[in-house]
């Protein structure tokens, strides 16, 4: 049964005064995930093969068998190391089972101030990945569709979300669709969508359904991703617009981003993740209830395609080896200056193959002065390596 929402707008602008009521007909909890994580893994674990099983160490040095794909894990670690070994991580999740196939990282966490594995670090800025939350809320709760046109003066370029900006203006000859705005990460569009169509309440509630401020459903210890929405005191068109466009105080871990992508691929179902195959902890879940309708999930997948086709990730997927997968990947990128660690943070989350997803991928790279790759390339490499491995396995079994 899909969650049903009712919005009551108390003001025409629908800022932070929107009330959101969740149907309790089936005894639905307001949080989609509950904490069941106890095992803390080593921040610098390396795969150890014992009896052909890939094992990793926990924080106490004890080895555990895992769901990690050794070939994929080692290749992704080598890809990062051979290109300057930046602060970086890539996560790959099996859509059907929730098994974590890869959790690779670059520079050792202690060298840049983290006490946890980079894939679990929860203080990277979410940036424009947060536009996925706004898009979900709009598709599920309003008459928005991927190709419905909205007026947006000035188009996508130059739309700074300033207190006196033109992004709220309906006049002019420019229009834009959600498909284009998502693929090109147009800030003004999402700011305006939040103000005119949604309100802050709907956005923050959908963010919580996607796992913010809650423990992820996984069998290892992961700190929740945090967000600080505008309050009733400081909520204005400016602050709410910036929050919706990805400029708010919202953090995320690579594992969380991959789980978000897996929810979309699973048609709105929040499937638990597993890493340790000997774990006695079964991650809690909502059961069979979806967070949103199958139609919303299908529309999200549809707009994710635009990121790769002609949007912010198109340059990467239009190059060399990655062209072979470009027609089958959907995703979302993000870029924002981070504070801890300091630097421009590049993010990517995606699903593959887009018509019948089998893996969810997320990657983060902190860009230095002479960076060698961005998160979209790291994500593309993980998808391609997984595909090549899967193709070889298929040939051997036929």
Q: Is residue 42 part of a domain?
A: no
Q: Are 215 and 37 in contact (CB under 8 A)?
A: yes
Q: Is residue 39 part of a domain?
A: no
Q: Are 254 and 366 in contact (CB under 8 A)?
A: no
In whole angstroms, what separates CA 244 from the centre of its chain?
Answer: 15
The pLDDT tens digits of the residues spanning 65-97 come to 999 999 999 999 999 999 999 999 999 999 999
pLDDT for the residue 29: 38
Q: Is residue 61 part of a domain?
A: no
**Torsions phi, psi for 370 (to 5 deg):** -125, 65
Q: Taking CA 88 as the corner, what is the angle to CA 86 and CA 92, rounded to the nearest 5 degrees?
A: 150
CATH number at residue 279: 3.40.710.10
* Total number of domains constituting the chain: 1
Element (H, E) at 90: strand 88-94
Give CA–CA dist 117/89, Å, rounded.
Answer: 9
Q: Is residue 38 part of a domain?
A: no
Q: Is residue 58 part of a domain?
A: no
Q: Is residue 352 part of a domain?
A: yes
Give CA–CA dist 193/167, Å, rounded.
Answer: 11
Q: Are 227 and 206 in contact (CB under 8 A)?
A: no
**Residue 145: domain span:** 5-24+68-396
| Residues with Cβ within 8 Å of residue 14, at least 6 apart in sequence | 195, 196, 197, 198, 199
Q: Is residue 359 part of a domain?
A: yes
pLDDT along the chain (398 residues), means of 10: 40 34 31 53 91 89 94 96 97 96 97 96 97 98 93 65 64 82 94 92 95 93 95 87 94 98 96 90 64 96 97 95 97 95 96 97 92 96 97 78
Give CA–CA dist 137/241, Å, rounded.
Answer: 15
- If you ran DSSP here, which 8-state letter would residue 143 be given? S
Q: Are 33 and 217 in contact (CB under 8 A)?
A: yes
pTM value?
A: 0.89
The pLDDT tens digits of the residues spanning 299-346 come to 999 999 999 999 999 999 998 999 999 999 999 999 999 999 999 999
Q: Is residue 152 part of a domain?
A: yes
């Amino acid at each position: 049964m899909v969650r049903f929402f009712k919005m009551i707008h108390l003001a025409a602008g629908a800022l932070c005064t929107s009330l959101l009521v969740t149907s309790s007909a089936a005894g639905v909890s307001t949080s989609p995930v509950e904490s069941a994580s106890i095992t803390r893994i080593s921040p610098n674990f390396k795969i150890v093969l014992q009896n052909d099983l890939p094992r990793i160490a926990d924080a106490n040095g004890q080895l555990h068998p895992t769901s990690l794909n050794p070939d994929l894990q080692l290749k992704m670690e080598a890809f990062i190391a051979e290109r300057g070994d930046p602060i970086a991580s890539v996560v790959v999740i099996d859509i059907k089972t929730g098994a974590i196939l890869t959790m690779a990282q670059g520079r050792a966490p202690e060298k840049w101030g983290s006490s946890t594995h980079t894939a679990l670090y929860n203080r990277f800025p979410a940036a424009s990945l947060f536009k996925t939350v706004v898009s979900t809320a709009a598709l599920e709760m309003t008459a928005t569709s991927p190709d419905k046109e909205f007026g947006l003066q000035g188009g996508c370029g130059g739309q700074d979300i300033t207190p006196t900006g033109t992004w709220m203006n309906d006049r002019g000859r420019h229009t834009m669709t959600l498909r284009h705005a998502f693929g090109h990460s147009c800030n003004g569009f999402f700011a305006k969508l939040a103000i005119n169509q949604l309100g802050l309440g709907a956005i923050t509630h959908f963010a919580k359904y996607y796992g913010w401020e809650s423990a992820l459903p996984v069998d290892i210890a992961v700190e929740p991703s945090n967000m600080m929405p505008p309050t009733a005191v400081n909520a204005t068109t400016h602050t709410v617009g910036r929050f919706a466009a990805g400029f708010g105080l919202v953090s995320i871990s690579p594992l969380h981003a991959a789980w978000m992508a897996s929810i979309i691929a699973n048609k709105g179902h929040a499937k638990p993740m597993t890493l340790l195959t000997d774990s006695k902890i079964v991650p809690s879940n909502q059961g069979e209830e979806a967070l949103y309708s199958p139609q919303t999930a299908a529309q999200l997948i549809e707009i994710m395609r635009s990121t790769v086709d002609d949007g912010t990730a198109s340059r990467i997927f239009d190059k060399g080896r990655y062209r072979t997968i470009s027609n089958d990947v959907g995703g979302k990128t993000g870029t924002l200056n981070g504070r801890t660690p300091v630097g421009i943070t590049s993010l990517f989350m995606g699903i593959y193959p887009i018509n019948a997803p089998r893996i969810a991928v997320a990657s983060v790279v902190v860009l230095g002065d002479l960076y060698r790759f961005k998160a979209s390339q790291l994500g593309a490499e993980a998808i391609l390596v997984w595909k090549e491995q899967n193709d070889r396995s298929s040939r051997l079994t036929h």
